[in-house]
Structure 1
Amino acid sequence: MTKAKTLLSAARLRTLPLSISGIIVGSAIAFSEGFFNGYILVFALLTTVGLQVLSNFANDYGDGVKGTDNEERVGPVRALQSGIISDKEMLIAMVITTLVTLISASVLIYISFKDTNLGLSLFFFLLGVAAVLAAIKYTVGNTAYGYRGLGDLFVFIFFGLVSVLGSYFLYTIQINFYVLFPAVTVGLLSVGVLNLNNMRDFESDRRASKNTLVVKIGLEKAKKYHITILVIAMISSITYLLLTFNHAVNLFFLLSYIPIILHLNRVLTNKDPKLLDPELKRLALSTFLFALLFLASYNIFL
């Protein structure tokens, strides 16, 4: 495999639908309230994709230099693990991705606020910098929070709250408390994907002293935790539905619960965490399906 193909593989394009789900949901609510700006949508998606690719590169780099990615790891071989990409080359890819992402974020902020609100512009730029740092520090460095069981918290904040609430605010320049409920849904579903990953990698992470939440609490409690957060995720979006219901078509997004419930059953009956690998893709795509159906549920008749 060439270096270019290896880097493309390290970008893990299959994770992108999950990463943009929050943008779709936040945008859907803004659209339903009469706010639409195609430029905001495009640059919000580009910025989010950049952050996700950066996170994937950083994860590959951090786990690679620490030796966490080894022959015991279940899942595809990483770029550094394969030896095709050096740690220096991955660092260069991370720097380039960071610069492109921050440029995209700056354009997004300018489109939203122009030069009329410097305070909000600065706040969102600092939020973008924080997102970049969070993407990098998950596995990189001696203080990597992913090695201390804090990955779930950061995923919930940035994939859920920041993504949904932030994108909604960029369109509307206003706060809507109800938006918190679908933001919690996307955040917890995203945490579920990370939890599956950590359950799958439980043995290799434990041996490498990568103290994820799963390593800290054990597999049985991790399974109960997984079921709990996904149930809360579904309840949260139902709460939003009850608060905003005005047409039967608003029920449409509930169809996305079908694959999630089937997924929960498979996790509940699982005996070997290594066999959970296919469930990562299924839950990620179920989250993306939720976002698309949510968009249709509140905008199909506009």
Structure 2
Amino acid sequence: MKSIKAWIQAFRLRTLPLAFSCIFMGAFTAGIDGYFDGVILTWGLITTLFLQILSNLANDYGDASSGVDGEHRTGPKRTVSSGLITKEQMKKALYVFSFLSLASGIYLIWLSFGDQWSKVLVFLVLGLGAIAAAIKYTVGKRPYGYVGLGDFFVLIFFGLVGVGGNYFLYANSLDPMVVLPALSCGFLAVGVLNVNNIRDIESDKASGKSSIPVRIGRQKAILYHWFLIIGSVATMLAYCVIKDLSPGAYLFLLVSPMLFFNARAVKIKTTSEGLDPYLKQLALTTLLFVLLFGLGELLF
């Protein structure tokens, strides 16, 4: 029983709403343009589930191996560093979820493109890139998450690729306007990472991890957070106006107060324990933001 609880802890299921947000946004934007397939949505969610768990396990393993998750860490302890799961066990799990992500992704690509081999090849490369990005965030000789590049890769894979790529799976083409909701999702995903990095700013400094808040300081990181929150709402509004969507699409604005509440909390909460709940709050708010937009447009 302890082993099962340890693996569930390592999976960090609270991160899944954020990961699923870009999948739903891709499906909704495709549906607005007349493209949708429930089977593709289902396998998109399954593939994302495997990729997100892979990323979380790699983060657990990488932080323990590098010493970031050591005595100075102020955030929640990971399973490898706390001894709940051994490094060898975690390494095997990384192989398992890499295989599951690849197999699921290949099936998803085949469902969408069949024998259109040029598109299959492009998306296979993107899929391999997503797997590599999930692992290299904290694993390897020069993990990009430790040198302040995590925000960039999150914007790409949780935003532009996550939304735009999923739209393409449905439509087999790409509406340039989709970049706006893609940026909206990406900004909120980066916001979750920014809350995490502000929470851990002191322990990251002590361990040599150069996140964006470590590089620019807490006060500028708070301004950066406001930029991400406002940017997410502004880009979504721009998409709705340019596409001349129905009033129902604007239902996402109902959660705007929750986004600004998050930004205010990041400013006034100065302890790790005080900030930690706002990671989950922003992740769940992001999913609600997306669901209200899509369901409001498609149902009303």
TM bin, normalised by shorter chain, reads: over 0.9
Aligned to 2:247: 248
Q: Which range moves more in the overlay, 129-138 or 208-217? A: 208-217
Amino acid at match of 1:64: A
1:29, 1:298 within 8 Å by CA — same for their partners in 2?
Answer: no
Displacement of 1:273 in angstroms is: 5.3
> 1:98-126, CA deviations, whole angstroms, 9 ceiling, x for partnerless residues?
001100000000000001x1011011011
Gap regions ≥5 residues in structure 2 = none
Tell me which residue corresponds to 1:281: 280
Q: Does 1:63 align with 2:63?
A: yes
1:138 and 2:137 correspond: yes
CA distance in 2, matches of 1:268, 1:144: 28
- Using the aligned pairs only, state the percent identity: 44
Superposition pairs of residues 1-302 of structure 1, within 5 angstroms: 2-115=2-115, 117-272=116-271, 274-301=273-300
Give the Cα separation in 1 of the matches to 2:208 and 2:74: 16
Describe the superposition over 1:75-107 as per-residue Cα deviations: whole angstroms up to 9, x where unpaired: 332110111211111010010000011000000
Distance 1:178 1:255 in 2: 23
Distance 2:82 2:222 in 1: 31
CA distance in 1, matches of 2:272, 2:220: 13
Q: AA paired with 1:114?
A: G
8 Å contact from structure 1 (residues 201, 274) kept in 2: no
| Inter-partner Cα distance in structure 2 for 1:242 and 1:156 | 23
Deviations 1:38-66 (A, max 9, x none): 11111111111111100000000000111
Displacement of 1:262 after TM fit?
A: 1.5
Q: Which amino acid aligns with 1:127?
A: L
Check the 8 A contact 1:21/1:288 in 2, yes or no. Answer: yes
Contact 1:59 1:138 in 2 (8 A): yes
CA contact (8 A) 2:72 2:206 kept: no
Give, as a single letter, the amino acid of the residue that structure 2 aligns with 1:93: A
Matched residue count: 300
| 2:137/2:143 contact within 8 Å kept | yes
Tell me how far 1:174 sits from its aligned partner. Answer: 1.1
TM-score, length basis structure 1:
0.96
Q: Secondary structure of the residue that 2:56 maps to in structure 1?
A: helix
One-letter code of the match for 1:157? I
Instruction: Report the Cα offset of residue 274 of structure 1.
Output: 4.8
